Amino acid sequence: MMAEDRFWEVISLLGGAVSEDSALRLDRAIRRLTPADASDFMDHLTRKLSDLTELPLEGIPVSDITDPEDVEPLPLVGDSLRYFYYAVIASGKDSYKDVKESPSNISKKRWDFSESELFIEVVSAILWENDGTQWESVDPTASTQCPGENAESEAEEPWWYAPTHGTINVKLPMNYRQAIVKVTEAINTSKKWKSWWRESSLDHLDADILIGTNRPSVVFKLGRKALKAEFEMGPSRFENKGPSELMDLALEEVQYVMNKVADRLKLGPVPPIAEIREEIHRTHT
């Protein structure tokens, strides 16, 4: 079991705040740990984050060092609150204890939490590589929503398919983005598609889709509860396409993605994509 002081020794490599350089130092330090110590480090971190979430910090106005001095500090809510939790850890053992003992005093100093997201990125990548577990599933500061869940009511099941799109020298047309949203919603709420995905015994399919590359490729990263799929797709075919044709492209994309996933996981044939088109027409016209 990693000792408490050893945990703070590793954290001290951040130098009191998260930056690109300090995040790189932290990343290297954690990767040098034994698998058991790396796991213990994550446990220490989640417990301390959990303790911070129990404090009445939400809504307290706090200044970041990047804020102009003549501007009123904004209250800690949403992402800023989450990043502040990580900044408190990064600031070191003594500062962490001070916050726990006197949470209302956090407004009396200027903090450095504008790059705290890099802290999250480091531990997310390492936990996934070491254990196949998504950091969001164990991080007590994370939203309880799963990817895409904000588009549905709380009473419904979390979405299992969450695509994200990036481009190289290509601009995604707004109508294409809208088509992707409609297709994703239909896939996630379709009983046939949900039944097909259950064959995988996984919770999520996270697809990162990069459009505009010259060398199309697919890379899969299989975790305990999720499959990450990284797709690089060829140059754009969006030119001079209307809404209906862009919907066709969005459907072709998801058909391609799901066929590749089915092959990788040895799943049965994907459900008919034509039924997704019909569902979109029924619900959006």
Distance CA 224, CA 235 (A): 33
CB atoms within 10 A of CB 159: 22
Predicted local confidence at residue 143, as pLDDT: 59
Is there a contact between 182 and 284 (Cβ–Cβ < 8 Å)? yes
Q: What is the pLDDT of residues 20-62, one digit of tens each?
A: 999 999 999 999 999 899 999 999 999 999 999 999 999 999 9
The C-alpha atoms of residue 6 and residue 49 are separated, in whole angstroms, by 17
- Got the DSSP string for 90-139? HT-HHHHHHHHH-GGGGGGSEE--TTTHHHHHHHHHHHHHHHS--GGGT-
Over the stretch 197-245, which tens digit does the pLDDT of each residue have? Answer: 999 999 889 898 999 888 889 999 888 788 989 999 887 778 888 889 9
Measured distance CA(55)–CA(57) in Å, rounded = 6
Residue owning tokens 């990263």: 221
Exposed / middle / buried, residue 176 (Cβ in 10 Å: 0-12, 13-18, 19+): buried
| Residue 217, helix vs strand vs coil | strand
pLDDT above 90 covers what percent of the chain? 57
How far apart CA 247 and CA 210 sit, in angstroms, is 18
- pTM (whole model) above 0.85: no
Query: Please, which contacts does 79-84 make with residues 24 or more away whose CB atoms are closer than 8 Å?
Result: 80/113, 81/57, 81/141, 82/116, 82/141, 82/142, 83/113, 83/114, 83/116, 83/117, 84/57, 84/111, 84/113, 84/116
pLDDT band at residue 249 using 50, 70 and 90 as cut-offs: very high
Percent of the chain with pLDDT over 70: 94
Report, as an integer, the average pLDDT of 71-95.
92
Phi, psi of 7 (to 5 degrees): -55, -50
Is the pLDDT at 131 greater than 80, yes or no?
no
Alpha helix (H) residue ranges in the chain = 4-11, 20-32, 35-53, 78-90, 93-101, 117-131, 174-189, 191-198, 243-265, 273-284
- pLDDT at 109 exceeding the cut of 70: yes
The pairing of strands 61-64 and 74-75 is: antiparallel
Let me know: does 128 contact 114? Beta carbons within 8 Å: no
Q: Which two tokens stand for residue 269?
A: 């044939």
Q: Any idea where the domains of the chain sit in the sequence?
A: 4-137, 149-284
**Is the separation of the CB atoms in 188 and 276 below 8 Å?**
no
Strand partners of residue 167: 211
Q: Rounded to the nearest 5 degrees, what angle is found at the Cα of 206, between the Cα atoms of 205 and 208?
A: 140
Q: Using CA atoms, how far apart are residues 198 and 82, in angstroms rounded to an integer?
A: 32
The region of weakest confidence among 59-68, 150-159, 185-194, 207-216 is 150-159
Tokens of 172: 């995604």
Terminal-residue alpha carbon distance, the chain: 59
Mean pLDDT of 73-78: 88
